[in-house]
């Protein structure tokens, strides 16, 4: 009797386990199917958005970036204009880019200005490297070349402002936004701001903030480079110019 009762209990237990298993399998299967369907729907939604251009860069921003890159490429070999005519061309290009940037929606304008700022700092870094890569006896000639480029830019900018005033358009007094390589001096290219020109104080603060983001070693090189540049400008009877200390 005892053995029979034990066998009965064991049989009942096995039946209960079998029933729980039968109930559990469909539930687990349904959960798995639901997760797979959700993942598939998410993938389909992503593909639809991608094909519709949702994740694509706005063509207006693409255009501005292309203009910035073209400006950098054009003056990469010389680091800036070699005469006033080239400087006028560069200033005109910078003004065009500035207008394009200011026409962008606010959510894209900041990105375009950030892109221009990175290009500006890259160009300034190259100019500094060009100076330090030369033997000591050749560095003054490099400074003179960069200073001359800055003066070409200053004259081109002043000529452009005078021409605008002469036809009644007035001068902006500001800098082009998102431009490429600076010409070496005050006219060089930190990004402008929408709705108005930057003051000299704002441009200096922008340049200083950019330099402050560099490493201590880079800041040391910047300090020496700027000191040499300002000293040479003073020797030539020119006002201070270039990035601030």
Give residue-wise pLDDT tens across range 176-185. Answer: 333 333 434 4
Rounded to whole angstroms, how far apart are CA atoms 117 and 122?
A: 9
Query: Do the beta carbons of residue 58 and residue 108 sit within 8 Å?
Result: yes
Provide mean pLDDT across the span 74-90. 83
207 or 174: which carries more pLDDT confidence?
207
pLDDT at 17: 63
What are the DSSP calls for 84-113, one per residue?
Answer: HHHHHHHHHHHHHHHHHHHTS-HHHHHHHH
Q: Is the pLDDT of residue 206 over 90?
A: no
Rounded to whole angstroms, how far apart are CA atoms 91 and 159?
A: 10
Q: Is the pLDDT of residue 25 over 80?
A: no
State the chain's mean pLDDT as an integer: 73
Q: Is the pLDDT of residue 192 over 50?
A: no
pLDDT band per the 50, 70, 90 thresholds, residue 72: confident
65 or 44: which carries more pLDDT confidence?
65
| Residue 82: closest CA among 150, 177, 128, 182 | 150
Q: Tell me: the pLDDT tens digits for 3-13?
A: 566 666 676 66
Provide mean pLDDT across the span 177-201. 45
pLDDT band per the 50, 70, 90 thresholds, residue 237: very high
Q: Is the pLDDT of residue 230 over 70?
A: yes
pLDDT at 136: 95
126 or 9: which carries more pLDDT confidence?
126
What dihedral angle (degrees, nearest 10) is formed by the CA atoms of 42, 46, 51, 57?
170
Query: Do the beta carbons of residue 156 and residue 88 sit within 8 Å?
Result: yes
This model's pTM is above 0.85:
no
pLDDT at 193: 43
Provide mean pLDDT across the span 120-148. 93
């Amino acid at each position: 009797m005892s053995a029979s009762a034990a066998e009965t209990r064991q049989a009942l237990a096995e039946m209960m386990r079998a029933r729980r298993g039968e109930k559990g399998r469909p539930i687990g299967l349904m959960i798995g199917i639901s997760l797979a369907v959700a993942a598939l729907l998410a993938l389909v939604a992503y593909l639809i958005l991608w094909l519709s251009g949702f994740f694509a860069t706005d063509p207006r921003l693409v255009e501005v970036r292309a203009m910035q890159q073209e400006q950098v490429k054009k003056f990469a070999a010389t680091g800036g204009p070699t005469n006033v005519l080239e400087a006028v061309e560069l200033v005109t290009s910078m003004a065009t880019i500035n207008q394009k940037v200011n026409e962008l929606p606010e959510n894209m304008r900041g990105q375009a200005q950030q892109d221009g700022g990175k290009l500006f700092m890259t160009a300034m870094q190259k100019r500094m490297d060009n100076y330090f890569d030369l033997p000591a006896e050749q560095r003054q000639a490099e400074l003179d070349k960069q200073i001359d480029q800055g003066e070409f830019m200053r004259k081109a900018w002043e000529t452009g402002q005078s021409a605008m005033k002469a036809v009644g358009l007035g001068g902006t007094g500001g800098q082009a936004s998102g431009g490429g390589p600076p010409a070496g001096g005050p006219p060089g290219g930190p990004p402008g701001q929408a709705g108005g020109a930057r003051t000299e104080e704002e441009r200096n603060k922008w340049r200083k903030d950019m330099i402050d983001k560099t490493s201590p070693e880079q800041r040391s090189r910047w300090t020496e480079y700027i000191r040499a540049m300002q000293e040479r400008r003073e020797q030539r009877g020119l006002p201070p110019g270039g990035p601030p200390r």
